[in-house]
Amino acid sequence: MSTFEISNRTRSDVIIMDIQGELDAHTAPRLEEKLQKLIDEKSVQIVVNGTGLEYISSAGLGVFMAYIEEIRELGGDIKITNLKPKVFNVFDLLGFPTLYDILDTEEDALKRFQQSV
Partner 1 sequence: MPSIRQHSMRISASTDELEKIRSFVASHAGEFGFSETDVNDIVLAVDEACTNIIKHAYEWNPEKNISVSVAFRNNEMLVSIIDEGKPFDPGSYQTPKLEEQLKNKKRSGYGILLIRKLMDNVEYRKRQSRNEIRMTKKR
User: Which residues bind to partner 1, rule: CB under 8 A?
Assistant: 1-2, 22, 24-26, 55, 57-59, 61-63, 65-66, 68-70, 86, 89-90, 93-96, 98-99
Local structure of 77: helix, strand or coil: strand
Q: Which is nearer to partner 1, 6 or 59 (CB)?
A: 59
Nearer to partner 1, 41 or 69 (CB): 69
CB of 62 to partner 1, least distance (A): 3
How much helix, strand and coil, in percent to the nearest 5, is found in the chain? 45, 30, 25
To partner 1, the closest distance from the beta carbon of 7 in angstroms equals 21
Nearer to partner 1, 15 or 71 (CB): 71
- Which neighbouring-strand residues pair with 83? none
- How many helices (H) and strands (E) are present in the chain, helices listed first? 4, 5
Rounded CA-CA distance 98/87 in Å is 16
